[in-house]
């Protein structure tokens, strides 16, 4: 009979978050598949658990996945974990879980910390509907495509970010979502220097330009506000577009591009409405 795979969450910075079930899953496993065995061995040593470790990380997923599945099919039980938090969430595990389903292996989730939910629950942003966006790509084209696809997103958006990329990401947020968009920056969650800042994209940019970012970050960005659609009609936005074009000597198309960024309307929608308004005035 085949064994099973425990998918085990581990603390994201505070060993106090290690639950009895997490500990028991490690104790029951015949072997542990860990993202970085040097990191996981420290956690296991802390609790006096000694188990054979298999490294399972980004660059050996296929080969090690097959190996893990074959051992489990032969009757062993595996606990899979990442360096911190929940496996499969911007961490290895997803492919192994899919392989296990295909092989008919029982999967047992052992829930615990994940930075995405830990940040969201204290963010002060809407929590009813949200989407997890993980890390933005370091490849500019992919990053900009990703953000462009989120311009209309109304749900709260959650991103992971490394400190050295934070400023760049905030600049991209400014371009795609505007300076006034509310956001929460959650830093070093569950650790000694935990910080939860309810702010805006513009204020965060100013703050971190003056204070170089350090530690681990989760960015919780408010979705596109509904309220603007109610407070500003398309006709009013079209009028602002005409005013801006006249004042700054811009083409209507360029003015529409600038004006629409702060509204719920798209560029071509604003452009067409402004053209219509202009025509009506001529008649």
Residues that bind ligand SAM in the complex, under the rule CB under 6 A: 12-13, 82, 84-86, 89-91, 114-116, 160-162, 186-191, 216-218
Q: Shortest distance, CB of residue 215 to ligand SAM, whole angstroms?
A: 7
Q: Give me the half-sphere count of Cα atoms (radius 13 Å) on the Cβ side of residue 147.
A: 22
Nearer to ligand SAM (CB atom), residue 3 or residue 213: 213
Minimum CB separation of residue 214 from ligand SAM in Å reads 12
Which of 133, 161 has the CB closer to ligand SAM? 161
The two beta strands, 53-55 and 31-34, are parallel
Distance of CA 143 to the CA centre of its chain: 13
- Closer residue to ligand SAM in complex, CB, 159/271: 159
* CB burial readout 2-30, b (16+ within 10 A) else e: bbbbbbbbbbbbeeeebeeebbebbeebe
Task: Tell me the residue number closest to ligand SAM, measured at CB.
Answer: 85
Nearer to ligand SAM, 73 or 198 (CB): 198
Spatial distance between the Cα atoms of 7 and 191, rounded to a whole number of angstroms: 24
User: Could you write out the DSSP letters of every residue in 92-114?
Assistant: TTHHHHHHHHHTT-EEEEE----
> At closest approach, how far in Å is the CB of 106 from ligand SAM?
22
Name the token pair of 97.
Answer: 């879980």
Q: What is the DSSP letter of 193?
A: T
User: Is 53 within 8 Å of 41 (Cβ atoms)?
Assistant: yes
Indicate the residue among 68 and 116 with the shorter CB distance to ligand SAM. Answer: 116
Q: CB 169 → ligand SAM: shortest distance, Å? A: 11
User: Cβ 163 to ligand SAM, closest distance in Å?
Assistant: 9
Closer CB to ligand SAM, residue 34 or residue 245?
A: 34
Q: Compute the least distance from the CB of residue 114 to ligand SAM, in Å.
A: 3
Residue 260: count other Cβ atoms within 10 Å of its Cβ: 20
Instruction: Decide if 182 contacts 200 (C-beta within 8 A).
Output: yes
Strands (E), 24-155: 31-34, 53-55, 78-81, 106-110, 130-135
* Helix 234-248, helix 267-282: angle, nearest 10: 80
Helices (H), 211-283: 227-231, 234-248, 252-260, 267-282
Q: Compare residues 3 and 85 and give the one whose CB is closer to ligand SAM.
A: 85
Q: How far is the CB of 85 from ligand SAM (least distance, A)?
A: 2
């Amino acid at each position: 009979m085949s064994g099973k795979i425990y998918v085990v969450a581990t603390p994201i910075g505070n060993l106090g978050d290690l639950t009895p079930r997490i500990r028991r899953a490690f104790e029951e496993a015949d072997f542990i598949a860990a993202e970085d065995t040097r990191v996981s061995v420290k956690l296991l040593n802390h609790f006096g658990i000694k188990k054979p470790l298999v490294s399972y990380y980004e660059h050996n997923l296929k080969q090690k996945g097959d190996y893990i599945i074959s051992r489990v099919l032969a009757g062993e039980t595996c606990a899979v974990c990442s360096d911190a938090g929940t496996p499969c969430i911007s961490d290895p595990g997803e492919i192994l879980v899919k392989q296990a389903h295909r092989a008919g292996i029982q999967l047992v989730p052992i829930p615990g910390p994940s930075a995405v939910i830990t940040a969201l629950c204290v963010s002060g942003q809407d929590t009813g509907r949200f989407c997890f966006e993980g890390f933005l790509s370091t490849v500019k084209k992919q990053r900009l495509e990703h953000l462009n696809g989120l311009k209309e997103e109304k749900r709260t958006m959650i991103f992971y970010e490394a400190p050295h990329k934070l400023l760049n990401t905030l600049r991209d947020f400014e371009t795609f979502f505007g300076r006034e968009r509310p956001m929460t920056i959650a830093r070093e969650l569950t650790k000694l220097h935990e910080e939860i800042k309810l702010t805006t994209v513009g204020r965060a940019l100013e703050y971190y330009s003056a204070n170089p970012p350090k530690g681990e970050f989760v960015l919780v960005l408010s979705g596109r506000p509904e309220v603007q659609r109610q407070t500003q009609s398309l006709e009013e936005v079209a009028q602002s577009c005409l005013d801006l074009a006249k004042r700054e000597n811009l083409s209507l198309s360029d003015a529409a591009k600038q004006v629409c960024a702060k509204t719920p309307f798209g560029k071509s929608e604003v452009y067409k409405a402004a053209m219509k308004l202009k025509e009506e005035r001529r008649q």
